[in-house]
Amino acid sequence: MANKTSNDAFVEFERVQKSYDGETLVVKDLNLTMPKGEFLTMLGPSGSGKTTCLMMLAGFETATHGDIRLDGVSINNIPPHKRGIGMVFQNYALFPHMTIAENLSFPLEVRKMGKSEREEKVKRALDMVEMGSFGGRRPAQLSGGQQQRVALARALVFEPELVLMDEPLGALDKQLREKMQFEITHLAHELGITTVYVTHDQTEALTMSDRVAVFDDGRIQQLAPPDELYEQPQNSFVAQFIGENNTLEGVIKDIKDGRALVQLDGGELIDCKPINVSKPGERTRVSIRPERVEYNKDRLQEGVHTLKAEVLEFIYMGDIFRTRLRVAGNEDFIIKTRNAPDQVRLQPGQQIEIGWLPDDCRALDA
Amino acid sequence: MSDTAKSGPVLAADGTPLKRSLARALRMQKMRALMLIAPLLIFVLVTFILPIADMLFRSVENQIVSDTLPRTVVALEDWDATSGETPGEAVFKAMAADLQEAAAAKIHTRVGSRLNYETPGISSLFRKAGRKVKKWDVEGDGPFKEMFLEVDDGWGDPDVWRTIQTYSPRLTNGYFLNAADMQKGPDGPEMRPENERIYWVLFQRTLFMSLVITASCILLGYPVAWILANLPSRTANLLMILVLLPFWTSLLVRTSAWKVMLQQQGVINDTLVWLGLVADDARLVMINNQFGTIVAMTHILLPFMILPMYSVMQTINPSYLRAAKSLGATNWTAFWRVYFPQSVPGIGAGSILVFILAIGYYITPELVGGTKGVFISNRIAFHISSSLNWGLAAALGTILLVVVLILYWAYDKIVGIDNVKLG
Ligand SMILES: Nc1ncnc2c1ncn2[C@@H]1O[C@H](COP(=O)(O)OP(=O)(O)OP(=O)(O)O)[C@@H](O)[C@H]1O
Ligand SMILES: [Mg+2]
């Protein structure tokens, strides 16, 4: 990544490490390149170092090692207020002693902008987030969603090229969240802003981003567009973390022609696609998405291995059916089927046979 | 629902109007709550509210003259104080009767000392006359005017009688006039001569020095509170102990320590002389004057400034400063435009606390203030324990109380009392 040319890289992390206490590395060897205009989401469990990365980019934490570049210029020694990066904080951080309009006017004032120009820009920014009539209020007089929008407007009003958002929707209810997700992506693309967005909500990450960086243990586990991330997880952490996932454990028996034969711990054999396993005898964790499991014998490919399963629970969820099975000793094996007119509703206790396309079943590291 | 619209008031299940049964239910709750706080309420009432009320009353109370000299007061009513003549025989006769009774009850000296506050010398007139009057026959003897003048020429002075007449009402504004450096002249209140005005200067000095002390506390306390609020909590707690340490040391010890530091042969002067900054024969006078009082009181009152500031600053989320910087503000702008306004409630609370404590402070000015650095409270203490003029002390205290309330009101108008937070 480091050898990529700088002209299409707007934000670059090169071999960045960060330690707070000199004993443990919170960020271990981070490499990341973002082109201009990209909407990139950092997704990962709590404590995986997302906020830390954002703070290093914004200038509130210094990297212990490595180089961070913005538009080709190393920013390690540039103080935060000179970086020109817009930031939306998790708690919004709207100044409580200023009105909404004063909050938005603040970044323009410190840039010594004239009064009429300021008012013009503040008004435009507020209109952009549909908060035009709230300029005279204090932050405490707004609802959570309104505060969120003002925080967004404030981060954008001075027209930064890069905007960082740290879990900006964490405090909102589901409905408002979905609305705001749409509004944020819409605005970011419309204004052509490069955005780094932090969340630990995977739905949010999948629906909003151009690319998602999955963080764990201070490293990027996979950096890919949402569909690729979901359909082609590169390791078992990503497979587990993104979406619902069934796992079965076993040992590689044979690998050839892009197919792996896996013997599960119960002795059954299945066909998989090898991802990060290389040789027979290795332990593996096999991952299958619930919606890719098939139990209708007519639709199964010929010659593939099938598994016996017992239905434990059938849950009606409206648009889909969710069925819990016991498969190869795993009692949490889930399958999802669409609620179509000809769909069979399985009964608890029923014995069935399940299978899948070998390409949908990925053999990952154990 | 429908019967509400028809029949007006909503009824509870038992048929009483809902409002009344709600009030009854709430009254029970209120009574119970009141009973819980009753001990404290009574305690506060007895030990705090009543004494203040008593003090307010004492500053205008003046029953002693009309109680002790009832006949004289009546007889003096028609006497014209501006005539410049001694009152007639009737007045002296009434006085003889009153004094005889008072002397029998041994209370004639009290009224004498009361009137002595107003016109020095009256006390001895009453004492002498009280001794003689016991032997007089109030009905048969006379004329009493001559007999009184025989006891002491002072009784012929119209000023003495004017004082008695002026202070015969049961309520008086005399103490307040006194406290405001005024006196009752023949034609109503007038200012005292220039060289007798002491309280006005003292009030001014007290206010001025309290303001200076408050300002010094803000200047010294703000950075300390800021550091405390921004350090990791373990270090902050340690430093907090240092801030609180003075609280655990006797006030007298702390004040005396300043004497050691500041006197002419003290640590600071010695150091300055040793450094050659000050000549040995020109050592600085830093104690027994206003400077000494300000230094010592700033030190003593500093914790009262730091604590509210600290607790307010602790509640200021550091992300505000970060947000300001990310929006392009320099460190100074971020502090001044974002952090400082949010810390103002702490400054307000600390200032009110320190100012009100300072304005009534007494021990430290007494010890290190000399004559130029004493406060009005030292004068009040003097009147309470030495001159025993409680009425004047009460009037001075009342004025002090009113001044504080006015300043509090002004503060509310200017800064807003909602802008005061203790955390
Ligand atoms: N100021 C700090 N001092 C010491 N350790 C810190 C500090 N800030 C974060 N850490 C540690 O660094 C690790 C990563 O923290 P970070 O805040 O980056 O996580 P995150 O991915 O943002 O998590 P979350 O989703 O919960 O916000 C955590 O283990 C945390 O304890
Ligand atoms: Mg975080």
B7 assigned to some structural domain: no
Q: Please report, rounded to a whole number, the percentage of residues in chain A having pLDDT higher than 70.
A: 98
Tell me the CA distances in angstroms from B247 to A42, B253, B373, one per residue in order.
51, 11, 24
Partners of A315 in the beta sheet? A322
ipTM above 0.85, yes or no: no
B339 assigned to some structural domain: yes
For chain B, report the end-to-end CA distance as a whole number of angstroms: 47
Contacts of A83 in chain B (CB under 8 A): 326
Nearest chain B residue to A96 by CA distance is B342
The residue-averaged pLDDT of A113-122 equals: 94
The residue segments making up the domain with residue B37 are 28-58
A65 part of contact set with chain B, CB < 8 Å: no
What is the count of structural domains for chain B? 3
pLDDT at B298: 94
Residue A224 CB contacts under 8 Å (≥ 6 apart), including other chains: A211, A212, A232, A234
Amino acid at B272: L
Residue B396 backbone zone (phi > 0: left; psi -120 to 50: alpha; other: beta)? alpha
DSSP code per residue over A282-310: -EEEEEE-GGG-B--GGGSPTT---EEEE
Instruction: Indicate whether B287 and B323 sit together in one domain.
Output: yes
Helix or strand run (H / E) with residue B190: strand B188-191
Query: Inter-chain contact B324–A95, Cβ cutoff 8 Å?
Result: yes
CA–CA distance, B98 with B100 (Å, rounded to integer): 5
Instruction: Indicate whether B235 and B370 sit together in one domain.
Output: yes
Last residue of a domain, one of B119, B154, B172: B172
CA–CA distance, B294 with B300 (Å, rounded to integer): 10
Q: Kindly report the nearest CA distance between residue A91 and chain B, in angstroms.
A: 8
B361 assigned to some structural domain: yes
Average model confidence (pLDDT) for chain A? Answer: 89
Q: Is the pLDDT of residue A256 over 90?
A: no
Using most ligand atoms within 8 A of CB, pick from A30, A48, A202 the residue to mutate for ligand 1.
Answer: A48
Nearest chain B residue to A158 by CA distance is B327
The residue-averaged pLDDT of A19-37 equals: 92
pLDDT at B221: 95
B18 assigned to some structural domain: no
Instruction: Indicate whether B41 and B130 sit together in one domain.
Output: no
Contact A230, A206 (CB under 8 A): yes
Contacts of A85 in chain B (CB under 8 A): 326
pLDDT: which is higher, B185 or A245: A245
pLDDT at B309: 93
Contacts of A60 in chain B (CB under 8 A): 322, 325
Query: Inter-chain contact A93–B328, Cβ cutoff 8 Å?
Result: no
Instruction: Indicate whether B119 and B259 sit together in one domain.
Output: no
pLDDT at B76: 86
Instruction: Indicate whether B389 and B294 sit together in one domain.
Output: yes
Tokens of B211: 């303001």
Q: Strand, helix or coil at B361? A: coil
pLDDT at B192: 84
Which residue positions in chain B have pLDDT lower than 50? 1-5
Tokens of A62: 């210094």
Tell me the CA distances in angstroms from A152 to A96, A167, B324, B329, B333, one per residue in order.
16, 12, 14, 18, 22
Q: Among A48, A11, A17, which residue's Cα sits nearest to residue A30?
A: A17
B380, B381, B385, B391: CA torsion to nearest 10: 20
Nearest chain A residue to B338 by CA distance is A95
Q: Strand, helix or coil at B208? A: helix
Instruction: Indicate whether B240 and B290 sit together in one domain.
Output: yes
Tell me the CA distances in angstroms from B342 to A81, A159, A202, B222, one per residue in order.
21, 27, 37, 13
Of the partner residues B323, B324, B328, the one whose CB lies closest to the CB of residue A111? B328
Instruction: Indicate whether B384 and B327 sit together in one domain.
Output: yes
Instruction: Indicate whether B236 and B367 sit together in one domain.
Output: yes
How many CB atoms lie under 10 A from the CB of residue A34? 22
B318 part of contact set with chain A, CB < 8 Å: no
Contact B206, B297 (CB under 8 A): no
Alpha carbon of residue A37 to chain centroid: 17
Q: Which residues sit with their C-beta closer than 6 Å to ligand 1? A: A 20, 26, 44, 46-52, 200
Under the banding of pLDDT at 50, 70 and 90, the label for residue A118 is very high
Q: Kindly report the nearest CA distance between residue A43 and chain B, in angstroms.
A: 22
Q: Which ligand does the CA of A26 lie closest to?
A: 1
Helix or strand run (H / E) with residue A86: strand A85-88
- Reported as a single tens digit per residue, the pLDDT across A151-165 is 999 999 999 999 999
Q: Strand, helix or coil at A317? A: coil
Instruction: Indicate whether B49 and B73 sit together in one domain.
Output: no
Q: What's the whole-model pTM score? A: 0.77
Helices (H) and strands (E) in chain A, counts: 8, 19
Contact B365, B375 (CB under 8 A): yes
Alpha-carbon radius of gyration of chain B: 32
pLDDT at B4: 45
Q: Which ligand does the CA of A49 lie closest to?
A: 1
Using most ligand atoms within 8 A of CB, pick from A18, A19, A26 the residue to mutate for ligand 1.
Answer: A26
CA–CA distance, A193 with A184 (Å, rounded to integer): 11
- Domains annotated for chain A, with CATH where assigned, are 6-236 (3.40.50.300), 244-365 (2.40.50.140)
CA–CA distance, B244 with B236 (Å, rounded to integer): 12
How many CB atoms lie under 10 A from the CB of residue B368? 26
Optimal mutation site among B316, B320, B327, interface A, most CBs of chain A within 10 A: B327
Instruction: Indicate whether B40 and B105 sit together in one domain.
Output: no
B217 assigned to some structural domain: yes
Tokens of A165: 């958002």
Q: Kindly report the nearest CA distance between residue A203 and chain B, in angstroms.
A: 27
Question: What are the b/e assignments for B204-224, b being 16+ CB within 10 Å?
Answer: ebbbebbebbbebbbeebbeb
B347 part of contact set with chain A, CB < 8 Å: no
Alpha carbon of residue B137 to chain centroid: 48
Tokens of B289: 């004057």
How many CB atoms lie under 10 A from the CB of residue A252? 21
Q: Kindly report the nearest CA distance between residue B210 and chain A, in angstroms.
A: 30
pLDDT at A343: 82
B44 assigned to some structural domain: yes
Instruction: Indicate whether B137 and B205 sit together in one domain.
Output: no
pLDDT at A27: 93
pLDDT at A5: 45
Instruction: Indicate whether B321 and B270 sit together in one domain.
Output: yes
B2, B5, B7, B13: CA torsion to nearest 10: 50
Helix or strand run (H / E) with residue B200: helix B199-230
Last residue of a domain, one of B128, B153, B172: B172
Query: Inter-chain contact A106–B317, Cβ cutoff 8 Å?
Result: no
Can the peptide bond before residue B143 be classed as cis, meaning omega within 30 degrees of 0?
Answer: yes
B343 assigned to some structural domain: yes
Query: Inter-chain contact B341–A97, Cβ cutoff 8 Å?
Result: yes
DSSP code per residue over A232-276: S-SSHHHHHHSS--EEEEEEEEEEETTEEEEEETTS-EEEEEESS
Tokens of A347: 């009964």
pLDDT at B286: 87
Angle (deg, nearest 10), helices A100-109 and A115-128: 130
Partners of A42 in the beta sheet? A198, A213
Tokens of A336: 């999802």
Q: Which atom of ligand 1 is nearest to the CA of A44?
A: 21
Residue whose structure tokens are 């809902």: B18
B10 assigned to some structural domain: no
pLDDT at B423: 60
Question: Which residues, by Cβ under 5 Å, contact ligand 2, an ion?
Answer: A 51
